[in-house]
Amino acid sequence: TVKHAYFLCSGLVMSYLCYEWDILYLFPPILTTYALLKFIGPGPKVSLAVFLSSMAHLLYFYWVYDNEKEAASYGIRWPDTAGCVNVLRLTSLAWDCSDGCMPVGKRNADQKKFALAKVPSLLEIFSHNFFFGTNFIGPHMNMATYLKLANNKLFPEENGGIPQSSLVAAGRAILQGLILLGIRFGFEDIFSTRYILSEDFENHFFPTRILYMLCWYLTTMMMYTLAWNFAEAACTITGLSYSGTDEKDQPMWDGCKQVNLITFYTCGTIADTLSSFNNATHLFVKRYVFKRLAFLGNRTLSFYLSVVFVTVWHGLRFGYVWLFLLCEIPALIQEDQMIRVLKNLTGIYSPSSLSPGKRIPLRCLQAIYANVALTYGYSGFAILDVQEFWKVVKSMYAYFHIILFTWWLVYLTMIPGKLKKLPTEKKD
C-alpha cells in the first residue's frame, strides 16, 4: 500500500507540473473501468466496453483541443501523452482480468504471463496509471508486471532487491538521452520546421530539399527517442525494466525499452526501422488488438484494423492518416515486393551471404531509400496544420507516391507470373 501511494502521489505531482488541473480529466475513464470490472465483472464484453469508453473519452478531448486556436502548434497536451497511455493501460487491464477468468489450459503464452486472477484495487489501478516512469510517453506496461514490482516479486528472492546492474543500465539510457538532447538542440535551428515552410526553402534545388528534410526528420525524431531513453532510465532504476536473466545468468533490463537506437538509425529497410522504436506500443497492438481480432478469421483484415486503431489513437488530424495509412502501409507493401523481385533476379535470399564489398553498398542504398520514404510520411505527423502540410507535400512534388504508383504500374503489368516461389519466411 505504501508503494502504491508513493507511486500515485509522485505521479500526480509530476502530472500536475505538466498539465496542471487538466490531470483531473484522466480520472473518469479510470473510475469507469474500475466500476465495470468490479460491479459487472471481467469478460470480453466488459473489456470491449472499457476499450470503447476510454477511446471515446480520448477522441472527445482530441476534438476539443484540436478546435482551439493554438491547435496547430505542438505542445504538451495531456490527450497526446498521458491520455494515450491511459487507453493502453485500461484496455490491457480489462483484457488481463478477462483472461484470468479463462481456464489455464486455454490461455496462450501472453495470457498465461499477464492474466490477473482478481480485479486490482482502485488504489492499485490509479498508481499503475500514474506511475511516473511511464505515465507521460510510455512505455506501456501490464498490471501483472507492475504488481510484481510493487509486491517485491519481480526479482529472484536470492537477489534481495533490485540488482545493482540496474544503475549501470539506467545510466546508459540517461547518457544516450543526454547525447540525443544535445544533438537535437544543437541542430534545432539548423533543421527547423519553420524553414521548411518558408519561401526560401522552395527555391532550393529539389535534391537539396529532400536532403534537408531527411536531416530534419532524423533530428526531429530525437524528441521521441530521447524522451523514451529517459523514461527507460526511470523504469530501470525502479526495477520495472527487469526482464529476467541472459544465458550468463546476468540481469536483463530491456523490459521497458522503447527504442533500439543503433537499429533505428542504421537499419536498411522500412520494416526494420518501424520495428525498432515504440516497441511497447507495438506489443500492445499485437496482444490486445491484432490477436483479439482472431475471430474474424482473416489476418490481413486484422492487421489493417490494427493500423486503423493506431491511426485514430494518435489523433483526429489528417496527418496521422497520411503517415500510417497512406504512406507506411503502401511503403511496406512496395518494399516486400521489391525484395521478392531482387531475390528472384539475383538468386540471393539473404544479404548476409554477399561479400562486404557488395553488402555494404546495398545496405546503404536500402537505408537511404527507407529514410527518404519515412521522411515523406513523417511530414504529415510533424506538421499538424493541413494547409502547411500540403505546402510541404507540394514542395516535394509528392515524390514518394509517384515512386509508389510507378512501381505498382510496372509490377502489376510486367512481373506477375514471372516470379519464382521463394522460401517462406516466418514473420511476426
Place of cell 520514404: 373
What is the structure's pLDDT at 325? 92
Within a 10 A sphere around the Cβ of 222, how many other Cβ atoms?
22
Scanning the structure block, which residue is given the C-alpha cell 476499450?
51
User: What pLDDT shows up at residue 263?
Assistant: 84
Digitized pLDDT (tens) for each residue of the chain, 428 residues in all = 889 999 999 999 999 998 889 999 999 999 999 999 999 999 999 999 999 999 999 999 999 988 875 554 556 788 888 999 999 999 999 999 999 999 988 898 899 999 999 999 999 999 999 999 999 888 899 999 999 999 888 887 655 678 888 899 999 999 999 999 999 999 989 999 999 999 899 899 999 999 999 999 999 999 999 999 999 999 999 999 998 888 888 889 988 989 988 888 877 788 888 888 889 999 999 999 999 999 999 999 999 999 999 999 999 999 999 999 999 999 998 888 888 887 777 666 566 666 777 777 777 888 888 888 899 999 999 988 888 889 999 999 999 999 999 988 888 877 666 655 545 555 55
With beta carbons less than 8 A apart as the criterion, state whether 137 and 227 touch: yes
Output the CA–CA distances (angstroms, integers) from residue 258 to 21, 205, 263, 282, 410, in the order listed.
Answer: 28, 37, 12, 10, 38
Residue 156, pLDDT score = 78
96 Cβ contact list (under 8 Å, min separation 6): 114, 115, 116, 142, 143, 144
